[in-house]
Amino acid sequence: MCPVKKSYRTPHNRIKILVKEAKQMVNGPYYCPQCKKELMQILADPNKKEVFAVCKCGLEEKMAYAPVFQPVDYYSKFMDLYKKRKFEEYRQQYMRQQREKQQVSKT
């Protein structure tokens, strides 16, 4: 609740902007982690129990459908999967480099 004084009240135009941004985050489009543009869409097919996160750059992920999730929840799930996959790639690359260094130091 805003105090009674007029100087502490939130302007109505600012409230509208905040509501608009919140609705956009729930409904999309979302930022793609690969192309860094706001082109990603979440498409759900409840009949087949599938959800797709698709971007115009070619990035695509298939997930299981849950009726309680909203598109923003699927986007969060997608980002977790994407970051986990990237971390595994960096880890494998690092381990490969360490093995190569050990082989060079032994010879």
pLDDT at 10: 61
Please write the tens of the pLDDT for every residue from 40-89: 888 888 889 999 998 888 888 999 998 888 888 899 999 999 999 989 98
Angstrom distance (rounded) from CA 62 to CA 21: 27
Instruction: Reply yes or no on whether the pLDDT at 13 is more than 80.
Output: no
Strand bridging mode 41-45 / 50-54? antiparallel
The structure tokens listed for 74 are 């699927």
> Amino acid identity of 67?
P
Q: Is the pTM of this model over 0.75?
A: no
CA distance 72 to 23: 10
d(CA 52, CA 74): 9
Q: Which of 20, 84, 33, 97 minimizes the C-alpha distance to 60?
A: 33
Specify the DSSP element, H or E, that contains 20.
helix 12-27
